[in-house]
Structures are given as structure tokens and as C-alpha cells.
Amino acid sequence: MTKSIFIFISAVSFALAQWPSDPDINLQISKTNISYGWDFAATSDGNNGVISVWADTRKGTQTLYAQRVDDAGNLLWDSMGVEISVDSLQSFSPAVLSDGEGGVFIVWEKNIGSGNLYGQRMNAFGEKLWADTGVVICSATRRQSSPKIISDADGGIIITWTDNRGAFGTYDDIYVQRVDQNGIAIWPKNGIMLHSNKGEERYPEIIPDGNGGAIFCWWTLGQSIFTQKIDVNGNLKWGGGKRTSLLPTNYPTKTMVSDNAGGAILFWSSGQDISAQRVDSSGSLVWGDTAEIVLDFIDGAQDIPNALADGEGGAYVVWRDARPGANNAFIYLQHFNANGDQLWTPGGVSISNFNTYIPTPLITKAPDNSVYIAWEDTRSSQYLWTQRINPDSSHHYQYGGVQTAKGVANWSDHKIFTTEEGSMIAVFSDGNDIRAKKIHPDGSLGTVTTIADNSLIKLSGFNLYQNYPNPFNPKTVIRYYLTRASNVELTVYDLSGKEIKTIVNTKQASGDYKIVFNAENFSSGVYFYTLKTDNQTLSRKMILLK
């Protein structure tokens, strides 16, 4: 069927949006309405989009599914999501990481009598690269939970988790395993224990050490925060673990980022103050030998810190703050240099003081060194709000932020990512389904494609999108959209202009088309793909890297 769209434009540009531009309307990623809204994870796809993994019960038991969203807000995989593990066992608590090629690594807990850890890798097309049911990460007795993953800088991943295999399950310990790009475990079966403590060890965090290994932090009952480093060969570098917080800390919220020198910067709170410490590459404390830095000297409770490395050895940290005058919570932000000096206003820069319930403020960095802060508050219904802070600590948007997305129910969590052009994508749960929203550097919402004209125009013909992934090896997806039926030719040319393959040569109805181009028989290099319809031609460049 032929589709014609008429739009009047008067001295302005026309915007076609895939991402919703209305704060009350969100992009729906999961469409089952039976999702476990609290049990999801998300990561960048490495190409200005995102990949989300969630649990739902459409099969009767809790099963994990994945979806990829491109930078224009299009769902690239099956509209209902791609199943991660083809079996009938309960799966939950996913951790995810981009594989750098448009795909994703996933580690999760699978209920096999007790909770064991499994892993899967999906490519850019949503195809499983490991076993259909996933590969075993740890099958030790009792439960393994709360997995976290990072890249090993060699195509694989390093995973850490809380482990209850100890005597009679009395205490939890912290373990680690490294898995290569093919899903094969590199270190000893069921992992390496990170510490020599004999007590309750929980809630590990992990970051790359810059040399193929990893740095960890975790909480020890009755003692406080401990750290450990492991090299690329699985050798523990800091003995049985280093005590990093010298003051007893109970059930802390904590966050850790790289110091760009083989060490780490940590922030934590037990609900009263935000403390900070830097650990160098040898495990020594940098910001005070006998005590950590207390970030906020203001009375009242400060908690839930989230940090972001500044790329110069320092860090940004955002937190929830109930200083005097706050019946619920405010949000503050601070910037530390590598020496532990506070670079902005003592006590932090105020992000929001609307005195509403705020679960968790998050932070991410834009290419221009500004930072985005996103949080949920209830000043007017249940909305996600966003603020952008310039490198000089000034507010880029109006004070209080931009109303970004409305939730249907209480949001249990949200994740945020930045794109190459400086936009922010938020992925969140509304309590039932997984949804997303995109905000641009100027604070506007939606995806904008402009058509400059000052008259009545008729949108006809087609749109040819950039292939993904790009660069690629050996497969990539070429997507195009026809607004009306047409004869279509989709052809690939080399750099000299020689035709090397015709992919499509037929008449097609209006609609959205996705074609997989397999270049396994072609050499690395720059290629062009050209789409011809009855009255238009458009070309784009793609790069094959083998």
C-alpha cells in the first residue's frame, strides 16, 4: 500500500522522531506486560545504541530476554526480545557488557537446585554465540549470586560474584573467573577466592586495572571495605585483600572507578556521610594513611554515591543528601582531582533541592567533558529528570533539570549512557515493562531528522540507514525504509566503483526492511552500498575489518 505524508513547514525544519519527544510517552523495549521490572540490566551497544536484558514469565517460569535499540530508537532484534537461554530453568539477576562489536556478554543466575552462574554472548544480530543454554561460569555447591562483569581487554570478560559454597553456607565469599570470547573458562574451575578473611563478604564491585586484570572492592561484615587486585594470569596482587576503609562501616552503599594509574578511587556511605579513598597500583592508601576523606561536612544523612572517572586521575561523585531542610532528599555533585582535593563548591554543587523522594541518582560523561545526572523524583507524579553539568560546574539546563520520562509505576532502577554526539539514553523499568528515552545535549527529547523546506512537501521515496555494526566482520545489517511501493536495487561497490554484489533486485511494498550482508568472501576495506528506487538513489559507506 502506498503511504503519503503531508506536512506544512513554515520557515522551520520538520522533525521525524523514532524516540518519543513527549516526556509522558516512552519507547517500549519489552512488550510482554509480564516483565519483572526490578530484574533487568542494560549496556551500550558500542554504536550509539543500547542493549537491555530482562526477566519475564511468558513461558511460565522466569526467563531472560534481550533487545537491541539503535540510535534512532528502532528495535533491532525480534520485537518480543531474543531468549538468552533455551531451557525451562528459572533465570534472573543478569549482568551485561558490550562486546565492542554490537553484541553483548551476559552473566546470570540460573536456578539448578541452587543458584549457579551461566554466561552467554549475543552478536550484533541477536544470535547466540555460545551454547543455547549458556555456558557454565560456576557450578559450585550452594548459591552464587550478584555477578558483575568487565572486559579482559582481550575479547573476553572477567566476572566476580558473591559465593555461598563455604562450610554449611555460613558465610559468603567473593570469587572471580575469566572467560574468553568463546565462553571457555581460563582460570581454575569455579573461580578464585579473592580474600583470606573468615567472615561475611558481600556485594563485590569490579573495574579494569588497565593491564588485562581487575580491581575489586567488597564489604566485610563488622570490618568495612576491602580491595583486591588480580592480574591477567589470575594471580592475586594484594595478598589476602587490603582493608581500605579504616572506620567500621555497616551495610554500605559503594562505588569505585579507575584512577588511570593502575589503582582505584572509592566512595561509600553507611547512611550518614560520603567517604572517599584512593588506592594506588600496589594497594596502598593515597588519600590519608590513617583515615579516609569525608566528602560532606554538612549535618544530616548523605548516601547512595555513584562515581564517574574524569579521565585525568580524579572522579566525579553524585549522591543523595538529606542535609538540614530536606524532609526527603536533595542531590549534590562533587569533582575530585587525583590528590583528593574537592574542585568545586565545598559540600558539593546542588543538582536538585525539590525535597522529594529520590531512590538513586546516576552519572555519565559526555564527549565534551560535561556530565549528565539522571534521577527519579516525585515533584510532579513519577518522572525521570536529567541535568547536564558543564566542566566549570555550571548547570547547562535550568535548575532542577529537564523532565525526561514518566513512569507508569514505581521505577526500581534505571541505567544511563551517552552517545558519540553527546546525547543521553536512559533505560528503565516502570514496574512492568522495560522502557527507554533519549535526551539531546540541548535538553530536547526524541530523534531528529531535519528536512529544510518552506513549502508544502510530500514525503515520498525512502530512507537508507547506516549499516550496523560498522566497521563489521563479516556480517552487517543494512536497513532501509520505503514510504511507497517501488522497484528496488540494493548494490554493493568497492572503493574503485566496481559492482561486487547485488543484494536486492525486486519490487517491494512500502515498509521497513533489514538485509544481512555477509562479506566473508571479500577483503578488508571501504565499500559503498547504494539503494535505487523508481525515482531516487542514495548511498552510504561501510568498512569491513578482518
Taking residues 484-504, what's their average pLDDT?
Answer: 90
- Closest to 42 (Cα-Cα) out of 68, 79, 76: 68
Taking residues 175-198, what's their average pLDDT?
Answer: 95
435 and 429 Cβ atoms separated by less than 8 Å: yes
Taking residues 105-109, what's their average pLDDT?
Answer: 98
Least confident of 9-18, 111-120, 210-219, 409-418: 9-18
* pLDDT above 70 for 1: no
Residue 497 is part of a domain; what is its CATH number? 2.60.40.1930
**Between 214 and 40, the higher pLDDT residue:** 214
Taking residues 410-438, what's their average pLDDT?
Answer: 86
Q: Do the domain assignments include residue 178? A: no
18 and 72 Cβ atoms separated by less than 8 Å: yes
Express as a percent the part of the chain with pLDDT over 70.
88
**Between 331 and 485, the higher pLDDT residue:** 331
User: pLDDT for 259-295, tens place per residue?
Assistant: 999 999 999 987 778 889 999 999 999 998 766 777 7
The type of residue at 539 is S
pLDDT of residue 412: 54
User: pLDDT for 197-248, tens place per residue?
Assistant: 777 898 999 999 999 999 999 998 877 899 999 999 999 999 999 998 877 6
Among 343, 360, 393, which residue terminates a domain? Answer: 343
Mean of per-residue pLDDT scores for the chain: 86
Among 343, 362, 385, which residue terminates a domain? Answer: 343
* pLDDT above 50 for 479: yes
The confidence band for 458, taking pLDDT boundaries of 50, 70 and 90, is very low
Q: Do the domain assignments include residue 337? A: yes
Alpha-carbon gap, residue 221 to 238, rounded angstroms: 20
The Cα-based distances of 477 to 30, 339, 465, 514 in angstroms read: 22, 47, 10, 6
The confidence band for 381, taking pLDDT boundaries of 50, 70 and 90, is confident
Does residue 316 sit in helix, strand or coil? Answer: strand
Q: Do the domain assignments include residue 211? A: no
Greatest mean pLDDT among 114-118, 267-271, 457-461: 114-118
Number of neighbouring beta carbons within 10 Å of residue 399: 11
pLDDT of residue 322: 83
Asked whether the bond before 391 is cis by omega within 30 degrees of 0, the reply is no
Longest dimension (CA), the chain: 77
Strand-pair partners of 532 = 489, 537
Alpha-carbon gap, residue 371 to 422, rounded angstroms: 10
* pLDDT above 80 for 453: no
Question: What's the domain count of the chain?
Answer: 2
Greatest mean pLDDT among 65-79, 332-346, 482-496, 508-522: 332-346
Among 293, 314, 343, which residue terminates a domain? Answer: 343
Q: Do the domain assignments include residue 69? A: no
Does residue 83 sit in helix, strand or coil? Answer: strand
The confidence band for 450, taking pLDDT boundaries of 50, 70 and 90, is very low
pLDDT of residue 311: 95
pLDDT of residue 432: 76
* Nearest-5° Cα angle at 451, 450 to 453: 135
User: Which distant-in-sequence residues (6+ apart) come within 8 Å of 370 by Cβ?
Assistant: 388, 389, 390, 391, 396, 422, 441
* pLDDT above 90 for 31: no
379 and 358 Cβ atoms separated by less than 8 Å: no
pLDDT of residue 218: 95
Taking residues 6-18, what's their average pLDDT?
Answer: 34
Alpha-carbon gap, residue 542 to 306, rounded angstroms: 38
The confidence band for 6, taking pLDDT boundaries of 50, 70 and 90, is very low
Express as a percent the part of the chain with pLDDT over 90.
57
Q: Do the domain assignments include residue 418? A: no
- Sign of CA pseudo-dihedral 27, 97, 519, 544: positive
351 and 333 Cβ atoms separated by less than 8 Å: yes
The confidence band for 402, taking pLDDT boundaries of 50, 70 and 90, is very high
For the record, the C-alpha cell of 409 comes out as 509505576
The type of residue at 319 is W
Q: Do the domain assignments include residue 316? A: yes
Give the structural domain span for 276: 251-343
Q: Do the domain assignments include residue 232? A: no
* pLDDT above 50 for 17: no
pLDDT of residue 297: 61
160 and 138 Cβ atoms separated by less than 8 Å: no
Taking residues 138-157, what's their average pLDDT?
Answer: 96
Taking residues 85-108, what's their average pLDDT?
Answer: 93
Alpha carbon dihedral 66, 137, 473, 512, in 10-degree steps, equals -10
Taking residues 450-477, what's their average pLDDT?
Answer: 64
Q: Do the domain assignments include residue 259? A: yes
